[in-house]
Structure 1
């Protein structure tokens, strides 16, 4: 099935939500004045993306930031045409694949932010996910996380523009780059060892103005750069907590991210950034649990009265509905608790040895 349309009638955030909720697999092509992007999606996960000249930009940035020789990066990309194993292809040429994935994330978020703010452009969706002949970059970003990050950038864009309104503003690094910093932060700190204005930085790095100013603003907030003529920027505690929460989600630490989420919701439930973060954490946690508990697996209880006494009443209620015939997806529908709570309980019972999972036909 293929569908197409314009992003004024069907806004990009709604399109991404539909693709994620439908667990679609295929290719999303986005076109507007800034060019064209293709997102290769597998069941709600963006596995790769492509755009004209993207590989060359990654190679140039890696060399400008003194992280890796550009020709080695391009050689690794050429290797991908012969060997689709991303880890092996980059390792063979001594290139850190994390750098490449991070650049892909930056490109994804900034492109979706630009398109969301512009409110124009066209899209074409097809269930054909073939990447043959495309200059693609590997990615490991879910549609939920992409939507959350891009909307957060949109919400904070007015603050960025107030601080950095013109390209003639000069940026100077106040600290050297370190290996613990994001790739673009390291690149900017390296390039701004001597003062550079925003316009020259944008052209040399080959990124959009919104992507550049966003990262310069982050560095300004961290007191790692000074910008001539920029106002004093105070750290935004909500933005900092959201960034830390997003890192925890990427690392699979959902309980810790949930604590941050609960704290932010209690302090300001009206903040759209917080609401989007809460939805993202829940859906990412659910997706991770379905990776652990196949929806078609049939749980069977293991008799252990002593271990059952350790369960909470609501967990014993869920355990009582396990009958050896219903699969995980049926149990999720039958239990009155939230989908996330049911899956967490089933995963806990499995780890305690109180459940055995059997997959029909195996």
Structure 2
């Protein structure tokens, strides 16, 4: 199935929501940026890779400027990957390039471009279920569509504060701390490049990123007091923004229960905030996807009788356990359960941890 349209009639956030909820596999082509083109390769609602003209060169140049990899080695690693290859790590390892920094940088470019496109609202798209990357200058990028949607919308909503603090390209950014492997990749890159002071406009051109992407990360460093910007006002930390950022980190680390606690607190304080609502959707979507990864929808669970262990279950958990009959698969159990999808899956996962549940 192919689908064509423009963002005036089908806004990008709605398109990403549709692709996410349908767990689509295929290629999303975005025709924007004064004739520019980007492609997102999706596998069951996950961004598997992206491509656009000059991508390899930009990744190699930025990693080289930040002294994180040899530029020629990065290009050689990209060029050595055969078409259709899924496990690309051996090719980067062979050229002494850390795959994680490549993925993180590609993720950064994609986030910035999606945020810019959402703000601009112009352009067209083409969707096809063909996942062929032959002949494309593509790079790996493991990220869910739900996370992409949440992060890009959060960037859009918070861009006003960024523009207020960093209104022009003539501002000079200077590092106050040394880069550390514990910091996010873009923070490390910016701290390295601004060690002796760097004009914001030159910094943006060197990175090859949009102005909003560059200023966003400089703003974060300024808020953390890790850089100084001549003439910039003091940044007041927004507690909601701070909690959303920490919650997003928890999700990337797979700490879904902790992220749900952050989500519940935010929803109680301000349920009307679009960033909070999107975060709540992302927490649930990512947790469900993680549980299905451990318990595939078509796998059939079998309950192991253990009266002593079963007495430790709550009433609603015993209801879910009572549905396990050795014939129904996980997807059928989810449909038959009176509890929500996430709660049912969490109960099945608990039963499995307790040794009460096994899979054929």
Report the TM-score range of the alignment, normalised by the length of the smaller protein. Answer: over 0.9
In structure 2, relative to structure 1, the CA distance for the partners of 1:83 and 1:118 (3 Å cut) is closer
User: Which stretches of structure 1, 4 residues or more, deviate above 3 A after TM superposition?
Assistant: none
Equivalent in 225, 236, 252 of residue 223 of structure 1: 225
Partner of 1:160: 162
Counterpart residue number, 1:327: 329
In 2, distance between residues paired with 1:268 and 1:199?
36
Give the Å deviation of 1:148: 0.5
In the alignment, does 2:202 pair up with 1:203?
no
Q: What displacement does 1:326 show?
A: 2.1
Contact 1:83 / 1:89 at 8 angstroms: preserved in 2? Answer: no
Distance 2:348 2:117 in 1: 40
Report 1:295-314 matches (<5 A).
295-314=297-316
> Aligned residue pairs: how many?
358
Q: Does the alignment pair 1:213 with 2:180?
A: no
More divergent stretch after superposition (307-316 vs 196-205):
196-205
The SS at the match of 1:172 is strand
Residues 104-133 of structure 1 show CA distances to partners (whole Å, capped at 9, x for unaligned) of 110111111001000111100000001111
Aligned equivalents of 2:201, 2:305: Cα separation in 1: 68
**Alignment partners' CA distance in 2, 1:322 and 1:203:** 59
**Is 1:341 the equivalent of 2:311?**
no
Q: TM-score under structure 1 normalisation?
A: 0.96
- After TM superposition, list the pairs within 5 Å mapping 1:127-206 onto structure 2: 127-206=129-208
1:3 — aligned with what?
A: 3
Deviation of the 1:163 alpha carbon: 0.8
Q: How does 1:246-285 map to 2 (within 5 A)?
A: 246-285=248-287
Partner of residue 52, structure 1: 53
Q: How well do the aligned residues superpose, as a CA RMSD in angstroms? A: 1.3
Q: What is the CA-CA distance between 1:333 and the residue it aligns to?
A: 1.2
**Which of 92, 95, 106 is matched with 2:94 structurally?**
92
- Equivalent residue of 1:81, what SS? coil
CA distance in 2, matches of 1:252, 1:321: 28
User: Which residue is 1:12 aligned to?
Assistant: 12
Further displaced range: 52-61 or 41-50: 52-61
**Does structure 1 retain, via aligned residues, the 8 Å contact 2:84–2:132?**
no
The structure-2 alpha-carbon separation of the partners of 1:83 and 1:319, relative to structure 1 and needing over 3 Å to count, comes to closer
Structure 1 gaps of 5+ residues are none
User: How far apart in 1 are the matches of 2:164 and 2:214?
Assistant: 14
- SS of 1:13 mapped into structure 2: helix
Q: Is the 8 A contact 2:83 2:134 kept in 1?
A: no
Secondary structure of the residue that 1:317 maps to in structure 2? helix
Deviates more, 1:132-141 or 1:230-239: 230-239
Q: Deviations over 1:78-116 (max 9, x none)?
A: 121379331101111111111000011101111110010
Give the Cα–Cα distance (whole angstroms) in 1 for the partners of residues 152 and 287 of structure 2: 20
Structure 2 distance, partners of 1:350, 1:31, is 46
Q: Which residue of 1 aligns with 2:66?
A: 65
Normalised to the residue count of structure 2, the TM-score between the two structures is 0.97
